[in-house]
Amino acid sequence: MVILSRREFMVASSLTFSSSSLLTALTFDQSLLETEFKSLRRNVGIFSGRGGTIGWLASSDALVVIDSQFPETAKVCLRGLEQRAKDKIDTLINTHHHGDHTAGNVVFGPLAKQIVAHKNVPRLQQRSADSSGTTDSQTYADTTFDDQWKMSVGNETVLAKHYGPGHTGGDIVVFFEAANVAHVGDLVFNHRHPFVDRPSGASVRGWISSLESITGELLDDTIYVFGHAKDGRAVTGGKTDLLAQRDYFSAVLEHVEKGIAAGRSRDEVSSLEALLGFGDYVDSPPRLTLTNVLGVTYDELMR
C-alpha cells in the first residue's frame, strides 16, 4: 500500500520522467488531498482520491483501469500505476457517466487502447457536459455494450455486466474473475445516503434488483469495490455490504409506500430525519441526502 501526502505530491511534482513514462508531459496539482493505493488480490487493487474509487489490474503484461476520477488525481494514479505495470493501458472502463468517475478520462484516454462503458453512458455523459458547460473537456467511451462485455488480458479475465437501471440508467459491474474482485461503482454508497439520478434513468426498484442479482451470481468471498463510503468506512467489503445497501432501499420503499397510502405529499414523505435502522448514514449536501432519496423514490412510485 502506498500513501501519498500533500508534501509527497509537492516532491513528486518536481520529478522528471523519461519519454517512456506514463506521465510524460503531465503535471501535478500541489493542492491535492491525500490519495491511497491498496492491493487486493492477484494484481488487482484500488486507488482512492477525489471522486469515485478507481479500480486497477496492474502487472507486467496487463493494465486495466476502472473509472478515472478527476484529471488531477488521475495523474497521481498514473504515476503509481507506472511502477506496477507496463506503459500502455489495455482498457479503461467507466462504471457510469458521472463526472467524478469520467472527468479523468482526458488523462487516461490517450494512453488506453479502448474506453469501455454501457451503451447509455456516452449519451448521458454528453448531456451532463452540455448542461454544465464542460463539453470541451470530455473524453467518451469508444467501445460500448448492452448487456455484457468480456476480455482476457494477461492471466486475468475481465467481465463487465449491466444489470438494469439503478444509480443511473448505465451502471455496470466489472468483475475480475481470477482475482474474484468486483467493482460495483456507485451501486454501493457505504453508510452514506446515495445519489439516485432519476433524470439519468435511475430506479430504486431496479437498484434493489441489481444488488440481489449481483450477490446471487458471485461467490460468497468476492471482494467488492464501492464507489463511495462514509468517512471512516471502507470502500471495499463483502456480500453483506451489498445486502445492507439493498435493505436500505427496501426501508426507503416501505416508508414511501406507507406515506403514499396515507395520502401524504412528497414534502411530507421526504421530511423524515432518519431512516429506521439506518440512522448512522450521513448526508452529503446538496444531492446525497435522505430527503432527496425519499423524494425521487416518491416520484418513481407515483409515476
Q: For residue range 133-157, what is the model confidence (pLDDT) as tens digits?
A: 999 999 999 999 999 999 999 999 9
Amino acid 246: pLDDT:
98
- Between helices 290-302 and 204-217, what is the axis angle to 10°? 100
Residue carrying the nine cell digits 460495483: 184
| Angle (nearest 5°) at CA 216 between 257 and 90 | 110
> Would you state the cell numbers that stand for residue 104, as one nine-digit string?
479523468
Amino acid 87: pLDDT:
73
- pTM score of the predicted model: 0.89
Residue 138 DSSP code = -
> β-pairing, 115-118 with 91-93?
parallel
Amino acid 220: pLDDT:
96
Indicate the CATH number for domain 2-189+200-238.
3.60.15.10
What are the phi and psi torsion angles at 239 (to 5°)? -55, -40
Amino acid 299: pLDDT:
98
- The residue among 150, 164, 169, 149 whose CA lies nearest residue 208 is 164
Three-class DSSP category at 286: coil
Amino acid 33: pLDDT:
64
Report residue 240 CA to chain centroid gap.
Answer: 19
Contact criterion met (CB below 8 Å) for 128 and 145: no
Burial environment of residue 204 by CB neighbours within 10 A (0 to 12, 13 to 18, 19 or more)? buried
- The residue among 212, 244, 208 whose CA lies nearest residue 229 is 244
Please count the other Cβ atoms lying within 10 Å of the Cβ belonging to residue 105. 27
Please count the other Cβ atoms lying within 10 Å of the Cβ belonging to residue 10. 13
Domain locations in the chain? 2-189+200-238
Q: Which residues of the chain have pLDDT under 70?
A: 1-33
* pLDDT digits 0-9 by tens, 59-68: 999 999 999 9
